[in-house]
A and B are shown apart, each in its own frame.
Chain A
Amino acid sequence: MIAIKNLHKSFKKNHVLKGIDVEIRGQGILALLGPNGSGKTTMLKCFLGMVIPDSGEILFQGNNIIGQYVYRQSVGYLPQIAKFPENLTGRELIELMKSIKSGETREDALIDLFDLSSELDKKMSNLSGGNRQKVNITLALMHDSPLIILDEPSAGLDPLSIKKFKDFLRLEKERGKTIIVTTHIMSLAEDLADDILFLLDGQVYFQGSLSRLLELQMEESLENAIAQILDSKKKSPSHERYIEV
């Protein structure tokens, strides 16, 4: 579904993506992991055309999408730091989103899921952090898109909301969607993910199934496996990479 080939991106002198090669074939949930500043958000923004890559190719359903925009009709995107006009209410934003992007919508299901209806008539600037995030998620997922990209979706959500949201994502997966999630909460990744994509210093350090990663690192939990990678990298920075497809 998605193929990224030798993707490079620098911001001034900061070389953030150093030749990313990724292939995401089928449906299911992919957890995009990596330490702060490793380039996860930048890679996703390149896919969405918000950041213009310096070189490399990005294919979506077989077509090169750099400079294109129609493909975004098939993508639901939750930004890590959502930027919306602050003086609008959630309801106005939902209407606005509907007018921008065509197709069936299902905002009511999401509003129900998060119990949001009483918050929708408040201005975005007056919402609590978690409720803002719920509106953001609603905006990202209200169109029934085959590809869902979520950059830190759990940020600010309470445990019950996280649980409901996880259930929602599992259902989406069963309906055949491809979902990419970044998170720093390892238990969330462990819970949801079929596959792991681990970025380190702007390169793909590991791509493969969760169980394969645990096996390679000889660890029981994802948290320990990741900690071990980061630790061994500190000791020998030129550590060999594992890439499994």
Chain B
Amino acid sequence: MKDILRYSFYEMVRSRWVYIYTAFYLITTISLWLLSNDNSKVLISMTNITLGLTPLIGLLFGTTYYYNSREFIQMLMSQPLSRWNIFISVYGGLAITLCASVLVGVGLPMLFFGVLQTETLSIFLILLTMACTLSIIFSLIAFLVAMRYDDKVRGLSISILIWLTFAILYDGVVLLLLLVFKDYPLDQLTIGAIVLNPIDMARILIIMKLDISAMMGYTGAVLSTFLGKTWGTGLIILSILTWMLLPLLSLRRLGNHKDF
């Protein structure tokens, strides 16, 4: 397991896209800080950027990475290793790299700018946790899509569709639903809409911490008034864990049934 993980990780860091991705975070974080000189402002901007970017990059890297690892996986298949061990280790190499990009690109410079000493520390930690969580969830979904579809073009298109759905279409559809059913009590619907989208959950979790009601939007406001902050946060954490667990279960199922 350790060897596969190490090999997959090396395989990832051989790709220059990983460096471009990390460098992008580094440059953005540093420039924002130089412009504003204000940690909390930088954190708010980086929240918006990472929440938008981590799902997209997770999906794109996840699909291409699986297709690039297919040979390696086939080679491992005839060795004395369990299928679960193979898939989780190969995927692990991807997840570790994506999280490392965020930690190095956003975390390191912020540490350097003294984020530990300010009251923004908790926001900083939530931001990093959420960026890693979204990277893990969406790269895993992409990995599954690629496992399911042997055709690269198809797999990549489906991944992009998933991103469009969660990052762009989703909010529009929810808003539309809220408008159409505006005469009914909408709290349940709204909460349902939040827990079905990991990106929304990550955003609301950070915004609740930031305590900027103006940025919370309708859904966030409903969540904190209807459930209260503690329960709202609890529900979100539970849902996010479910969002990680379900794809892991499908990885196991798909991994055990796939022919090579």
B71 nearest in chain A by CB position: A83
Q: B77–A49 contact, CB under 8 A?
A: yes
Number of interface residues of B (CB under 8 A): 24
Q: Take A72-B80, A85-B11 as given contacts and tell me if A100 and B4 are in contact as well, using a CB distance cutoff of 8 Å.
A: yes
| In the assembled complex, A96 has its CB within 8 A of some CB on chain B | yes
Q: What 0/1 readout, one digit per residue, does chain A (28-51) give for beta carbons within 8 Å of chain B?
A: 000000000000000001001111
When each residue 53-82 of chain A gets 1 if its CB lies under 8 Å from chain B and 0 otherwise, what string results?
000000000000001011111010101001
Q: Which residue of A lies closest to B3 (CB)?
A: A99
Q: Which residues of A contact B76 (CB under 8 A)?
A: 100
Q: Cβ of B78: which chain A residues have Cβ within 8 Å of it?
A: 48-50, 72, 75, 77, 79
Chain A nearest CB, measured from B193 CB (Å): 38
| A85 contact from B71, B80, B257, B260, Cβ within 8 A | B71
B interface majority secondary structure = helix
What does the 1/0 interface line of B176-193 toward A look like (CB < 8 Å)? 000000000000000000
CA distance A52 to B11 in the complex (A): 28
Most buried by A among B74, B80, B260: B80
Question: Which residues of chain A have C-beta atoms less than 8 A from B252's C-beta?
Answer: none
Q: Which residues of A contact B7 (CB under 8 A)?
A: 96
Number of interface residues of A (CB under 8 A): 27
| Contact assessment for A72 and B79 in the assembled complex, using a CB-CB cutoff below 8 Å | yes
Q: Residues of B contacting A49 with CB < 8 Å?
A: 77-78, 83
Asked whether, in the complex, the Cβ of A50 is within 8 Å of the Cβ of B260, the reply is yes
* Least CB distance, B245 to chain A, in whole angstroms: 23
B255 to chain A minimum Cβ distance, whole angstroms, is: 11
Residues of B contacting A50 in the complex (Cβ-Cβ under 8 angstroms) = 74, 77-78, 259-260
Q: Is B75 an interface residue (CB 8 A)?
A: yes
Query: Contact at B80–A52, with CB atoms within 8 Å?
Result: no
The answer, yes or no, to whether A164 is at the interface (CB within 8 Å) is no
Report B51-94 CB contacts with A as 1/0, cut-off 8 Å: 00000000000000000011110111111111100000000000
A87 proximity list for chain B (CB < 8 A): 14
- A83 CB contacts on chain B under 8 angstroms: 70-71, 74-75
Q: A69-B80, A87-B14 are in contact. Are A100 and B74 (CB under 8 A)?
A: no
Q: Which residues of A contact B72 (CB under 8 A)?
A: 84-85
B75 — nearest CB in chain A belongs to which residue?
A: A84
Kindly state whether residue A86 has any CB partner on chain B within 8 Å: yes
CB of A49, distance to nearest CB on chain B (Å)? 7
**B111 → A minimal CB distance (Å):** 34
Is A233's beta carbon under 8 Å from chain B?
no
Contact B81 A52 (CB under 8 A): no
Q: Which residue of A lies closest to B2 (CB)?
A: A99
B196 to chain A minimum Cβ distance, whole angstroms, is 33
Interface-central residue, B3, B7, B76, B77, by most chain A CB under 10 Å? B77
Contact A48 B77 (CB under 8 A): yes
Taken residue by residue from 247 to 260, chain B's Cβ proximity to chain A (1 for < 8 Å, 0 otherwise) reads as 00000000011111
A84 to B79, CA, bound (A): 13
Query: Scoring A residues 73 to 117 as 1 if CB is less than 8 Å from chain B, else 0, what string do you get?
Result: 101010100111111000000001101110000000000000000
Interchain CB contact under 8 A, B3 and A100 = yes
List chain B positions with a Cβ less than 8 A from chain A. 3-4, 7, 11, 14, 69-72, 74-83, 256-260
Given contacts A51-B259, A84-B75, A85-B11, 13 further A-B contacts (CB under 8 A): A45-B260, A48-B78, A50-B74, A50-B260, A51-B260, A69-B81, A69-B82, A79-B74, A83-B74, A96-B3, A96-B7, A97-B79, A100-B3
